[in-house]
Amino acid sequence: MTPTDDSTLAEAASTFAALGSEQRLGVLRTLVRAGPDGLSIGELGARSGVTGSTLTHHMKILSAADLVRQVREGRRIICIAAAYARMKSLSEFLLTDCCADSSHPHKDHRHG
């Protein structure tokens, strides 16, 4: 991602909007903690504290943002955090130009 690219800015804004709910962020964090095997929809609800139609609503938004995916295994639906590279890219997007206009760079940020 390059911060000067308008399409990149729009993509980042859209993804951050999908994360703009405490419940959605909690659902995503629960899936990240579960790792690549994911969780059944029931287990995800139990662990995240978000269930029923509310969980379905949040999963639709996270899926539309390509942050999670759902896979049917027989009668079960497995939810998986699918965008680790994208999440990392978003954090790098925010920090790429850290302190670029400051004469006092942040102590935790090193250019180069």
Q: How is the chain split into domains, by residue range?
A: 6-93
- Indicate if the alpha-carbon torsion angle 19, 21, 27, 30 is positive or negative: positive
Residue pLDDT, tens place only, 36-52: 999 999 999 999 999 99
- Does position 5 have pLDDT exceeding 90, yes or no? no
- Give the pLDDT band (50/70/90) at residue 1: very low
The reported pTM is 0.77
6-93 CATH pick, 1.10.10.10, 2.60.120.260, 3.20.20.80, 1.10.40.50: 1.10.10.10
